[in-house]
């Protein structure tokens, strides 16, 4: 009962903020720039080049007045404040075109330079080859096409304003920018720039309510209107083949008392199937049910229960990597400082509390009576011991990110250990010349992640 009351208290606050999210954002959002609320990212075919790749090969050219070109020069001169290098945008070439006066040369140079700034501010300057295990597809190029941003800038004459609207809205980006303006340490400057760029790899606006976990921090946040409602310690993948990849997915349901279908890499590769079939008494104690098909194929399923490897809940967030957030029976591991211990999935403390909260938030229980009824039902289901999937009507984005400098859960700017060695390629890419014709999707293959066998 205490658990139910505590969960209801948390959810009431979260719901109050969530209900005001649409109104607050509608008042603050610029027209035609921000995405619809909580919509999944547009998924173009992997073989289809982005509009901006084509635009770089054959630049979109619009007419530039000298005044607008000078405003563009001013943006380039100050672009270091955004963690970018003015030299990338070839200011001398733009100045030469401006000195020659209005005409085709100025139109070409200014349009090209503006397009490069749009791409870097909106999508990030780091090429996909340097984003290790980064499988997020940033929707911003579809939502804010370069040609439209350029047209808006030239029509209004506010070149700087149009480009500034591309910056990430998350408070961490502003905090890193503030820190960049004050630091004098070259190594710290590079780390700030790298993590500012990582924010650009995500959608500019993450939505009004979402879950976000920063892998090196070992923390998960439930966030509403960019305010942290609750935090949960996490356990993430071990370095190497089981390192947790970076994803942007959607919670479609909450599964209470999940079953676990054991991967064949364990059933056959580690001999679990033979042990389950050969030792029925042990299998019953461990909750395993094994079946052998007519073709000899052995399937092993661990039944719901306190010893289940997924614990008492998992979030249904379908993705090709088989990565999800779930509970664990080994909750003592959350007390360790180094929590890179899993096979890739993200284990979450107080998982039942999180599941019940999401079940209520996701089903739009707006009155105190509806919230109380939803919480009571969720508690009943969670303690029933039976596999139950609760669908979520208002789907919630989940971002699995990797920041080595960010605000911690207490609001302090902190650095986190680069547990997977993912900083070095980003830092090298930012030091190298700007790469044109960058892909929007990674060509890196996903590492096969097995569901989370409890080996620690």
**pLDDT tens, 64-109?**
999 999 999 999 999 999 999 999 999 999 999 999 999 999 999 9
Task: Tell which phi-psi region holds residue 397, choosing left (phi > 0), alpha (psi between -120 and 50) or beta.
Answer: beta
Residue 15 reports pLDDT greater than 60: no
Residue ranges making up the domain that contains 117: 48-205
Tell me what pLDDT residue 379 has.
87
Residue 424 lies in a domain: no
Please tell me which residue, 276 or 52, carries the higher pLDDT value.
276
Tell me what pLDDT residue 28 has.
39
Residue 18 reports pLDDT greater than 70: no
Residue 166 lies in a domain: yes
Of 155, 157, 146, the residue nearest 122 (C-alpha): 146
Tell me what pLDDT residue 6 has.
52
Residue 28 phi/psi, 5° resolution? -90, -20
Residue 344 lies in a domain: no
Segment 410-437 mean pLDDT: 96
Q: How many CB atoms lie within 10 A of CB 268?
A: 15
Determine which of 39-43, 139-143, 173-177, 208-212 has the lowest per-residue pLDDT on average: 39-43
Share of the chain above pLDDT 70, in %: 85
Between the CA of residue 181 and those of 82, 354, 426, 427, what are the distances in Å?
9, 38, 20, 19
Residue 453 lies in a domain: no
How many domains, the chain? Answer: 1
Residue 125 lies in a domain: yes
Please tell me which residue, 27 or 162, carries the higher pLDDT value.
162
Q: How many helices (H) and strands (E) does the chain have?
A: 17, 14
Share of the chain above pLDDT 90, in %: 66
Residue 220 reports pLDDT greater than 90: yes
- With residue 80 as reference, give the H or E element that holds it: none
- Using one digit for the tens of pLDDT, what is the confidence trace for 115-171? 999 999 999 999 999 999 999 999 999 999 999 999 999 999 999 999 999 999 999
Tell me what pLDDT residue 442 has.
87
- Using one digit for the tens of pLDDT, what is the confidence trace for 28-63? 333 333 233 333 343 333 333 344 444 443 358 999
Residue 381 lies in a domain: no
- β-pair partners for 236: 340
265 HSE (CA, 13 A, CB side): 7
Segment 313-329 mean pLDDT: 92
Which residues have CB under 8 Å from 99's CB, separation 6+? none
Between the CA of residue 19 and those of 224, 365, 420, what are the distances in Å?
10, 10, 38
- Using one digit for the tens of pLDDT, what is the confidence trace for 343-392? 889 999 999 899 988 888 877 777 888 888 888 888 899 889 999 999 98
- Using one digit for the tens of pLDDT, what is the confidence trace for 424-454? 999 999 999 999 988 888 888 766 555 444 4
Classify strands 325-326 and 346-348 as parallel, antiparallel or unpaired: parallel
Determine which of 173-187, 216-230, 439-453 has the lowest per-residue pLDDT on average: 439-453
Confidence of residue 264 (pLDDT cuts 50, 70, 90): confident
- Using one digit for the tens of pLDDT, what is the confidence trace for 378-394? 889 988 999 999 998 88
Average per-residue pLDDT for the chain: 86
Under 8 Å between Cβ of 325 and 314: yes
Q: How many CB atoms lie within 10 A of CB 63?
A: 13
Distance CA 105, CA 265 (A): 61
Tell me what pLDDT residue 45 has.
33
Residue 353 lies in a domain: no
Residue 172 reports pLDDT greater than 60: yes
- β-pair partners for 359: none
């Amino acid at each position: 009962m205490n658990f139910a009351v505590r969960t209801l208290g948390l959810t009431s606050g979260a719901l109050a903020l969530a209900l005001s999210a649409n109104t607050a954002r509608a008042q603050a959002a610029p027209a035609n720039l921000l995405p619809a609320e909580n919509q999944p990212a547009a998924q173009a075919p992997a073989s289809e080049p982005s509009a901006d790749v084509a635009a770089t090969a054959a630049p979109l050219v619009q007419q530039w007045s000298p005044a607008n070109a000078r405003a563009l020069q001013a943006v380039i001169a100050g672009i270091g404040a955004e963690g970018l290098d003015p030299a990338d945008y070839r200011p001398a070439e733009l100045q030469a075109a401006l000195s020659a006066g209005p005409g085709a040369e100025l139109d070409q140079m200014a349009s090209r330079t503006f397009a490069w700034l749009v791409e870097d501010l909106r999508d990030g300057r780091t090429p996909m080859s340097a984003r290790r295990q980064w499988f997020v597809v940033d929707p911003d190029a579809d939502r804010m096409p370069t040609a439209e941003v350029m047209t808006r800038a030239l029509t209004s004459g506010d070149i700087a304003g149009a480009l500034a609207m591309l910056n990430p809205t998350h408070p961490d980006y502003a905090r890193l920018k503030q820190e960049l303006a004050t630091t004098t340490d070259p190594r710290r400057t590079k780390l700030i720039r790298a993590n500012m760029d990582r924010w650009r790899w995500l959608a500019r606006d993450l939505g009004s309510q979402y879950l976000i976990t920063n892998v090196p921090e070992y923390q998960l946040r439930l966030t509403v209107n960019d305010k942290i409602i609750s935090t949960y310690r996490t356990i993430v993948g071990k370095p190497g083949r089981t390192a947790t990849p970076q994803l942007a997915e959607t919670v479609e349901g909450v599964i209470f008392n999940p079953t676990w279908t054991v991967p064949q890499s364990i059933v056959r590769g580690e001999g679990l199937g033979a042990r389950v079939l050969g030792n029925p008494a042990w299998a019953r104690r461990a909750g395993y049910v094994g079946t052998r098909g007519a073709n000899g194929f052995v399937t092993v399923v661990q039944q719901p229960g306190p010893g289940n490897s997924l614990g008492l809940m998992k979030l249904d967030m379908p993705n090709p990597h088989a990565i999800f957030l779930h509970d664990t029976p080994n909750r003592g591991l959350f007390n360790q400082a180094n929590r890179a211990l899993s096979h890739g999935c993200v284990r979450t403390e107080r998982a039942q509390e999180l599941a019940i909260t999401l079940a209520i938030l996701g089903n739009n229980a707006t009155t105190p009576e509806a919230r109380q009824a939803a919480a009571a039902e969720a508690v009943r289901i969670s303690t029933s011991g039976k596999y139950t999937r609760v669908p979520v009507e208002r789907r919630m984005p989940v971002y699995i990110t990797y920041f080595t400098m960010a605000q911690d859960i207490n609001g302090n700017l902190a650095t986190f250990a680069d547990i997977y060695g993912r900083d070095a390629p980003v830092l090298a890419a930012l030091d190298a010349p700007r790469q044109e014709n960058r892909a929007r999707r990674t060509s890196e293959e996903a590492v096969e992640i097995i569901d989370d066998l409890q080996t620690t």
